Amino acid sequence: MPDRQPHKRRDWSWRSQAFRGLVYQIIAIVLVGTGIWYLASNTLANMAARGIQSGFGFLTGAAGFDIGETVLPFDALDPYWAAFLAGVLNTLRVAIIGIVLATVLGTVLGIGRFSHNALVRGLCYCYVEVFRNVPVLLQLILWYLLFAEALPPVNDALSAFGTFWLSKGGFSFPVPVWGLGQALAGVGLLIGIVAAIVYRRWAQAEFERTGRPRSMVLAPLAMMIAAAFIGWLVGGAPASWNIPHPGTFSMEGGASATPEFMAVLLGLVFYTSAFIAEVVRAGIQSVSRGQTEAASSIGLNKQQSMRLVILPQALRVIIPPITSQYLNLTKNSSLAVAIGYPDVVSIANTAINQTGRAVECIAIVMLVYLTTSLSTSAFMNWYNARAAIKER
């Protein structure tokens, strides 16, 4: 039986590099903490000397203003914390939908840069060069002016099939009349998503074992649609839709996306997707040409090679920089205040004007963006670890 290694005693003398490093870190933490305490106490003292109230107690008071667009119902008599919550939800709505759409559009554009069709390559190249070189604030203003000035009024709205309407009032679309069928369809969709995830793992394992590719997109999509359809049938197959139609001053019925929301969403999606396209293009180019030739040698066509061989290897290069683009999209949503979209920054500005609590409101905004950014980074780091190629 081998002898145990003697326990290495920690050297607490100044000659130890580890000990010196620990001391330096403690000193740095103390200095940073002292600086923060000094700034906070000095700020509070100066505010008290000038009769400026401080603290977060104002959050429980009535807001006294309306919000034009909210995810949850909001009334002027609701407290300030509810107003900030409405602003946060508006910010998250733009960020989440924008990230999904920008990812899809940017991926398509990035892959399109490798098309054999010169026209497709040229269009993708022109798109990227135009939208990523125009400031995002200017794009938001241009989209807002398009809705506010170029589009017709509500009573003369542009229509598609009599169900979708586009006007100065925004984009209106039909929504189903909610009932048991829609609820069961949602449950079925969740079950279909789980089944699709299980199937994809099985298909990937079978591909690695036999080399025979299986459907990784159409089959999972069919599972989700079929499960949702079955739930809809079990719920009585309701077919009632609330279809919008032009009213005297606004669209009536259905659901609508306001011009402010559409301008923010389109501006952020088109701007961010141009950068994502370049990230995808660079990731694909990082995969050696020999991988494409090897995929062709075993009978994979170009689409299969891209989906099964090239993109999985490119993901390890794509994910880190694309995370930065997601963070940029979320933080760029703060520019929505320029066109009147009631995000968290807009709500904070209104609260500052009414209460004078500038430090507190700015701290709330900083906390919101810090939380969303760290959450996005944590999720993408987890996904990056899952998508990383496992070395044997």
To which residue do tokens 């990383």 refer?
A: 388
CATH code of domain 80-171+254-387? 1.10.3720.10
Contact 341, 261 (CB under 8 A): yes
The pLDDT value given to residue 158:
85
Residue 76: predicted pLDDT: 87
In this predicted structure, the answer to whether residue 301 has a pLDDT above a threshold of 90 is no
Q: Enter the tokens of residue 381.
A: 């780091």
The residue ranges of every structural domain in the chain are 80-171+254-387, 178-239
* pLDDT above 50: residue 259: yes
Query: Full-prediction pTM beyond 0.85?
Result: no
Inter-residue contact 247 to 175 (CB < 8 Å):
no
* Nearby residues of 103 by Cβ (< 8 Å), 6 or more positions away: 273, 276, 322
Are the C-beta atoms of residues 91 and 344 closer than 8 Å to each other? yes
Give the model's pLDDT for residue 84: 93
Over residues 161-188, the pLDDT tens digits come to 878 888 888 888 888 888 788 888 889 9
Maximum pairwise Cα distance, the chain: 92
The sign one gets for the Cα dihedral 154, 345, 129, 286 is negative
Looking at the predicted structure, is the pLDDT value of residue 372 above 90? yes
Average pLDDT over residues 264-273: 95
Strand partners, 170: 167
Cα distances (angstroms) measured from residue 177 to each of 180, 182, 235:
10, 8, 13
Q: How far apart are CA 348 and CA 244, in angstroms?
A: 33
Is the pLDDT at 263 greater than 90, yes or no? yes
Phi/psi for 385 (5° steps) reads -65, -35
